[in-house]
Structure 1
Amino acid sequence: MFSKTIGPGNGKCRQAELQVRRRPASAVVRQTPWSQIRLRDEFRCALFPFPIFRKYTMVLSDRDAQRLLGDALQSIDEYYEQRGIFQGKFGFGERPAIVVVDFAYGWTDSSYAGGSDRLDLPVEKTAELLAAGRQRGLPIIYTTSPYRPETGDQPFKSAADRSTTFRAWDARACEIDQRVAPEPSDLLIYKENASAFFGTHLAPYLIEQKVDTLLITGCSTSACIRATATDAKGNRFRPVVVSDCVGDRSAVCHVFTLHDIQSRFADVVSLDQALQQLSDRD
């Protein structure tokens, strides 16, 4: 067992003892079950103890991440509630649309360096939402990145970063996953930035379609979903993130970002809640 102080080094945080059974250096992180990692004392003194958990955060489930962050997120909720801030809801308007952000193979296929199997379930759930949306004639928009072969015009810090141990970034990486394939009537937008709005014609298109509510699905929760929700609010649409239909490579980033989005930038609802809202408008 070893101890390490987490949080600011101001002496106010108590020590958190992380008990981990010693394993050979060659052991795979995935073999260390969550039950062997226990935090003692107040977790609230540090929202993100990444220096301690950096070996484990990429293999946690969403439920594990919720347990890890639970006390900290609860303390944030209590703080907001005591002050009466961030308590409102956007709600559903009269005319919703669905945006599917970056569910392309470069993100959903783990043979690519930026791909993750953690997106399998959100992709499946998004297919359910799309079926309901098409049945009701909702506008459906997809986004992905434009494919560029090796040129000098490559984006910085993108999922296309090169790795010799994974499949090379290619045209397929930017193709929408066939499990949620677009139909001819859907709009496909190639975007250069995290937000589906920034530098694209998404906002004018939604206005033309008389849309007031945007159901947001796709990846990654902590990047493009957050940016899209923030810009949807900024463009005066009602942003609704469907939690079952978004995902991230990191469960910790996913859980925290959904909580923060819910507090300040959008409503966060389950797939069942979204489907019920659509059904209520039939």
Structure 2
Amino acid sequence: MGKDAERRSNSALLVVDMLRDFTDPNGLVFYPQNREILPKVKRVIDACRDAGILVIFLKHFNRVGKVDEKASSMRPNCIEGTWGDEIDPMLEVDPARDYVIKKRRYSGFFGTDLDLVLRENNVHNVIVVGTKTNCCIRATVTDAFYLDYKPIVVSECVATDSDVVNQVHLEDIRKYLGDVIGMDELFARIKEGVL
């Protein structure tokens, strides 16, 4: 459909927490696995945009100097307004078409307007890529399932700090919550117009 494709799909791509603190070697919670998936995530974003699939970036953040019980028990990361809170520059946001939704918990749905944005855009399928499979990916997929969306996780485009943990959570998602597919299958589904 090309760069200026009209949105015609009932699917959306959720790009979860691909922020510099997670993806850059100088980030506060960097894992090499996140750097490795970046080019693949970019390919998926480009393919989805070309097919008219809505792209939504989810951005984890913590406020500077404000109370947050969850954040107080973890390593500092994604502090609002800092370099680490920025979406990795390899993944360009199209401000005219993409959404950027900030979140303070693992799930992209909890305390955000993600569900409303998806419903306003007649979305049924949510394609999920990003980090961390055992926290933010899993929580977002679980809530998508509970809200009657069809989650589709792209296996080569999610990561965490342990390959074993990553695979365990992908297997649980596949068994109980949605589809786990490879990039080739995703691109085939897009080409066939089923996403």
TM-score, normalising length: structure 1: 0.61
- Which of the numbers 56, 65, 71 marks the counterpart of 1:150? 65
**Structure 2 unaligned spans of 5+:** 1-8
Contact 1:101 1:143 survives alignment (8 Å): yes
Structure-2 residue corresponding to 1:110: 25
Shift of residue 153, structure 1, vs aligned partner: 4.0
Q: Secondary structure at the match of 2:100?
A: strand
Structure-1 residue corresponding to 2:35: 120
Shift of residue 204, structure 1, vs aligned partner: 1.1
Structure-1 residue corresponding to 2:92: 181
Bigger proportion of residues as strand: 2
Deviation per residue, 1:80-104 (Å, 9 max, x gap): xxxxxxxxxxxxxx61110000000
Q: How does 1:198-213 map to 2 (within 5 A)?
A: 198-213=110-125
2:72 pairs with 1:160: no
Give the Cα–Cα distance (whole angstroms) in 1 for the partners of residues 80 and 56 of structure 2.
24
Structure-1 residue corresponding to 2:153: 241
The letter of the residue matching 1:160 is P
Shift of residue 277, structure 1, vs aligned partner: 0.3
- Which of the numbers 182, 188, 191 marks the counterpart of 1:270? 182
Q: Report the RMSD for the aligned CA atoms in angstroms.
A: 1.9
Closer/same/farther in 2, CA of residues 109 and 170 from structure 1, 3 Å limit: farther
Give the Cα–Cα distance (whole angstroms) in 2 for the partners of residues 138 and 148 of structure 1.
31
Contact 1:239 1:266 survives alignment (8 Å): yes
Deviation per residue, 1:55-85 (Å, 9 max, x gap): xxxxxxxxxxxxxxxxxxxxxxxxxxxxxxx
Q: How does 1:58-69 map to 2 (within 5 A)?
A: none
Give the Cα–Cα distance (whole angstroms) in 2 for the partners of residues 278 and 121 of structure 1.
24
Give the Cα–Cα distance (whole angstroms) in 2 for the partners of residues 280 and 244 of structure 1.
21
Contact 1:106 1:159 survives alignment (8 Å): no
Give the Cα–Cα distance (whole angstroms) in 1 for the partners of residues 125 and 133 of structure 2.
19
**Structure 1 unaligned spans of 5+:** 1-93, 162-167
Closer/same/farther in 2, CA of residues 250 and 159 from structure 1, 3 Å limit: farther
Aligned length: 183
Structure-2 residue corresponding to 1:101: 16
The letter of the residue matching 1:228 is T
Contact 1:98 1:138 survives alignment (8 Å): yes
Shift of residue 199, structure 1, vs aligned partner: 0.9
Shift of residue 246, structure 1, vs aligned partner: 0.6
The letter of the residue matching 1:174 is D
Give the Cα–Cα distance (whole angstroms) in 2 for the partners of residues 153 and 97 of structure 1.
30
Give the Cα–Cα distance (whole angstroms) in 1 for the partners of residues 73 and 25 of structure 2.
18
Higher relative contact order (CA 8 A, sep 6+): 2
Contact 1:147 1:171 survives alignment (8 Å): no
Q: Secondary structure at the match of 2:90?
A: helix
Deviation per residue, 1:106-131 (Å, 9 max, x gap): 11113233111211222111100111
Give the Cα–Cα distance (whole angstroms) in 1 for the partners of residues 102 and 146 of structure 2.
21
Give the Cα–Cα distance (whole angstroms) in 2 for the partners of residues 271 and 235 of structure 1.
25
Q: Secondary structure at the match of 1:113?
A: coil
Shift of residue 224, structure 1, vs aligned partner: 0.4
Give the Cα–Cα distance (whole angstroms) in 2 for the partners of residues 152 and 210 of structure 1.
36
Percent identity between the two aligned chains = 29
Closer/same/farther in 2, CA of residues 121 and 134 from structure 1, 3 Å limit: same
